[in-house]
Structure 1
Amino acid sequence: MQIGANSLLQEMQTLTGEIKPNGITPNITQQVANTSGSDFGSLLSEAVGNVNALQATSSSLQTRLDMGDTRVTLSDTVIAREKASVAFEATVQVRNKLVEAYKEIMSMPV
């Protein structure tokens, strides 16, 4: 089952709009304000874009090293590859936690 970031965010927003504990709306001190001005969807999109950029840089360095570019060292290439790998693994773990949370929310009785 493929879950996109935007569809997950929309589903969570609809669920938030439907849930009011005992019919009482929370007062202003209970609400958390988003002071950064960014929403979750844009932050997630930006993070995925950063991972993509790291992978593109790693691929570019690998290609340049294979082509014999003397300005690219093996250590730079390996470091870029490891950065991209760690960033990708972190993204996969975040995705897994989001899917797990989504499944848990959807299995809650209403």
Structure 2
Amino acid sequence: MAKGAIKIAPNPKDHGIQAPSFTEVMKEKVAAVNTDQNVSSALMKAVDSGQSDDLVGAMVASQKASLSFSTMIQIRNRLVQAFDEVMKMPV
């Protein structure tokens, strides 16, 4: 190591845990949105077929699924916009 060089050490607060990659996080979030959609659909079918009388729970699940899907679409739009901006940068 050269004189005056700074040694970079792992952060002692992370306890050796490595942060997940962006791809892993996005896969998890898309899977969560899919799960919300499936749960909402199942609850709505149960109410429609008379197997359940929990209309409020079905509506809450539907709104949650709708909100999470809208959020995912907005994140996708922002990522595409950021990618376009990077591609337009002069080299």
Per the TM superposition, whether the score is higher than 0.5 is: yes
Higher relative CO (Cα under 8 Å, sequence separation at least 6) belongs to: 1
Change in CA separation of 1:28 and 1:106 when aligned onto 2, cut-off 3 Å: farther
Q: How does 1:2-21 map to 2 (within 5 A)?
A: none
| Equivalent position of 1:67 in the other structure | 49
Aligned positions, number: 78
| Equivalent position of 1:82 in the other structure | 63
Deviation at 1:37, TM superposition (A): 2.7
TM-align CA RMSD: 1.7
| Equivalent position of 1:94 in the other structure | 75
Q: Which residue identity is paired with 2:64?
A: K
Higher Cα Rg, which structure: 2
| Equivalent position of 2:12 in the other structure | none
Q: Which runs of 5+ in 1 are unaligned?
A: 1-26, 30-34
Deviation at 1:96, TM superposition (A): 0.4
Deviation at 1:28, TM superposition (A): 7.3
Secondary structure of 1:104's counterpart equals helix
Q: Which residue identity is paired with 1:75?
A: V
Q: Which runs of 5+ in 2 are unaligned?
A: 1-5, 9-16
